[in-house]
Amino acid sequence: MTGPQPPAAVLCGVGSWLPPDVVGNDVLAARLGVTDDWIRQRTGVRSRRRAEPGTATVTMAVEAGARALKSQGHGQADAVVLATATPDRLCPASAPEVAARLGLNGAAALDVSAACSGFVYALSVAAGLISARTCRRILVIGADTMSAVLDPDDRATSPIFGDGAGAVVLRAGRSGEPGALGPFVLGSDGDRADLIQLPAGGSLTRYRYTAHAPDPYLRMDGREVFRQALDRMGGAVTAAAAGAGWALEEVDRFAVHQANARISRALATRLGVPCERWLSNIEHVGNTTGASVPLLLDHAHRGRLLLPGQRTAVAAFGAGLAWAATTLTWPELAHDG
């Protein structure tokens, strides 16, 4: 005799927040010795947000989390899972402080570190907690302050990345109902860990304030990352759709990590996806790392580009290397304007 089915994780709220400071390509182009057109052709980014001094990941996560909680109709959750590659401190984790500032003191709270794939990994962690009946309602946030780790003179990274935060609320529900997350596809390749890395600050390369301090900035091999992103995200999103019982042509919307507009176009072409099904906001926010996917979902929802009943595939790829994907049918959610 089989017991009752475990509860499914159902998306029931969404929200986001961006710092008010808009940095256009003209500002960066002058410093980097390039043009606005050079940046746009290589990245698809026209502007990005930068957090002011004193505003960091916890602050942005709280703002996005509050909006997601409001979207669900009340401010309650019994856990907070924060995906970030730029915590306010290496220790302690940032999630407990986020929970406390949101009035959720006492809730379970943890950080997930998987860089650009972190939010989808965090969704899988939250879904597992709901399936195990450990929690019934979980706030999942992706937030990153990339400006804190960017070399302002590096053409490979400075024009691409931006700061921001996005969040969703998951509740216990039934498999197959609108908003229920489908099977997850997760993977990694640590043999290529050096393709995207922040060399200093860990236990291997310990940061010291000396003339010979290790490199404190994010570094990336853009050409090889491009190739890996196509292979890994393409495979993950295809497998996630298949796990949901969908052919790719049956997917209405693709919400894929906003790494680079050229990667997005190439991936859409490889998958045979019409451009009108491919959600994008990189032009105005850049690559926001762990915040990328939830920011995209919230912007598409508020812009009526993601509508109730639409089959949606979600995927991400980034440092680790790590990749992740899942699916859902977009639910009916409140709009804040």
Catalytic residues, by residue number, are 116, 257, 287
DSSP state of 275: G
- 169 pairs with which residues across the strands? 13, 139
What's the distance, Cα to Cα, between the start and end of the chain in Å? 49
Alpha-carbon distance of 43 to 259, in angstroms, equals: 8
Contact 299, 317 (CB under 8 A): no
Rg (CA), the chain: 19
Contact at 8 Å (CB) between 66 and 16? no
Rounded to whole angstroms, the Cα distance separating 149 from 278 reads: 29
3-state SS, residue 255: strand
Rounded CA-CA distance 114/193 in Å is 12
Instruction: Decide: 84 and 57 in contact? Cβ < 8 Å.
Output: yes
